[in-house]
Amino acid sequence: MALIVQKYGGTSVGDPERIKRVADRVVASAADGDSVCVVVSAMGDATDDLLELAARVSATPHDRELDMLLTAGERISMALLSMAIIDRGRKAVSFTGAEAGIITDASHGKARIVEVRAQRVAKALEAGTIVIVAGFQGVSTTDDVTTLGRGGSDMTAVAMAAALDADVCEIYTDVEGVYTADPRVVPDARKLDAVSYEEMLELATSGAKVLMSRCVETARNQGVLIHVRSSFSPAPGTWIKPEDERMEQAIITGIAHDTSEAKVTIVGVPDRPGIAARVFRPLADSGINIDMIVQNTSAEGKTDISFTLPKTDLKLARTVLAQVCRDVGATDFQAEDDIARISLVGAGMKTHPGVAADMFDALADAGINIEIISTSPIRISCVVRASEIERAVRVVHDRFRLADPAVYREESAVVPR
């Protein structure tokens, strides 16, 4: 008998009919004796609606109270799903994050799970009850309600799967799996049968929101097998698992894009040892996550430094940067939020030179200017204008012929034109 954790995203539980359909699916999964623990997101756009509501009451909502508000979204869907399952003749019980034993640190809005005390859930499962857990939330070590960051129900599901030693963590969503690019941007993107944890981690951190990046990290560290699949079809989806020789030996796995970042350029920074630390330390101390950084060559002892950061941190960053400019004697800074990042990901690029050049070529041929470049061993990312991002994704997808499963295998060593 297996123990399965299933997570249903917001669209999958978006209205009463869909909740009833999810209930049918959960009951069917439990029919042959398997234990099923279900994690749910808030219905449809409920989280966005709650955020909007908070903004109408307060310009700077108190972080604890905002978390208290947002956790209401998942409470609604968990109770509704539990009712629907009980109507179908099965025992079911819904738990909030706190009741399910999800213990987090105290950083409201982006709390990290520090422990899962899964005894209550495990006991209910053993008694043959289907357990519904509210995603995206927990309780802090100081007893306050917390949320885990956008997309955090994925994290709840993987953490629950690890704590229960589940056989599989199924992530049910509104697409059939993980594709070579966002299928809403690239119509001929191809569904992948399997993706390694490392590649999925790069895709997710680069903006492929089909999985929250932190959950992929936890899944890899705790050995949780993930199956991303559609709530609306029985088709098999994409397995996220350790790399093995049977996997499609692709040079490139896929493309991710991210429109959630902004770009800052600090102009006329004195080019002396210690300056970078004096620029980035105050930003780090304010909890701002800096990503791509480039420093230009200096002229007359001055240089420009550009970097990207989450748009949501831009307001805070402006205040910090005004002070930084005064402290280090920089001329000024400019902030732009109309940028986006495209990332090409694939384990095979480690051994295949020329991938970066081909990506730059594809963008150049399309007349798309690259503003910042950064790389990891298995990723190349370029910042472009936001208005060009979808075209950028499509031309790079085309250049690497990612729609065609036959082209990009290791044996075809050279990147075709």
Q: Which residues bind ligand ADP (CB under 6 A)?
A: 9-12, 41, 151, 173-175, 178-179, 181-184, 208-210, 254
| Residue 333 contact among ligand ADP, ligand ASP, Mg ion, none, beta carbon within 5 to 8 Å by kind | none
> Cβ of residue 176: shortest distance to ligand ASP, in angstroms?
19
Question: Nearest approach, Cβ of 94 to ligand ASP (angstroms)?
Answer: 16
- 273/291 Cα distance (integer angstroms): 21
Per-residue CA distances from 298 to 268, 269, 331, 373 (Å)? 9, 9, 14, 19
Query: Applying CB under 5 A, which part among 19-27, 86-94, 151-159, 386-394 lies near Mg ion?
Result: 151-159
**In whole angstroms, how close is the CB of 45 to ligand ADP at the nearest point?**
10
- Return the one option of ligand ASP, Mg ion, ligand ADP, none that residue 139 interacts with (CB less than 5 to 8 A, by type): none
CB of 173 to ligand ASP, least distance (A): 10
CB 270 within 8 Å of CB 302 = yes
73 binds, among ligand ADP, Mg ion, ligand ASP, none (CB under 5 to 8 A by kind): ligand ASP
Contact residues for ligand ASP (CB under 6 A)? 9-10, 41-42, 47, 73, 135-136, 150-154
The residues, ordered by sequence, that sit 6+ positions from 20 with a Cβ below 8 Å of its Cβ are 84
**Least Å distance between CB 183 and ligand ADP?**
6
* 210 vs 292, beta carbon nearer Mg ion: 210
Instruction: State in angstroms the smallest separation of the CB of 389 from ligand ADP.
Output: 13
Residue 216: closest CA among 242, 192, 183 = 242
Pick what 146 binds: ligand ADP, ligand ASP, Mg ion, none; C-beta below 5 to 8 Å, kind-dependent.
none
Choose the contact partner of 11 out of ligand ADP, Mg ion, ligand ASP, none; CB within 5 to 8 A by kind.
Answer: ligand ADP
CA distance 78 to 157: 14
Number of residues that bind Mg ion (CB under 5 A): 1
For 285, the token pair is 């101390």
* The token pair that represents 382 in the structure block: 């370029």
Contacts of 257 (CB under 8 A, 6+ apart): 181, 182, 185, 206, 207, 340, 341, 342, 343, 389, 390, 392, 393
Q: Give CA–CA dist 238/191, Å, rounded.
A: 7
* Amino acid at the residue 9: G
Cα 282 to Cα 63, 119, 144, 310: the distances in Å are 21, 42, 28, 16
* Least gap, CB of 252 to ligand ADP (angstroms): 12
Task: Compare residues 181 and 415 and give the one whose CB is closer to ligand ADP.
Answer: 181
Interaction site with Mg ion (CB under 5 A): 151
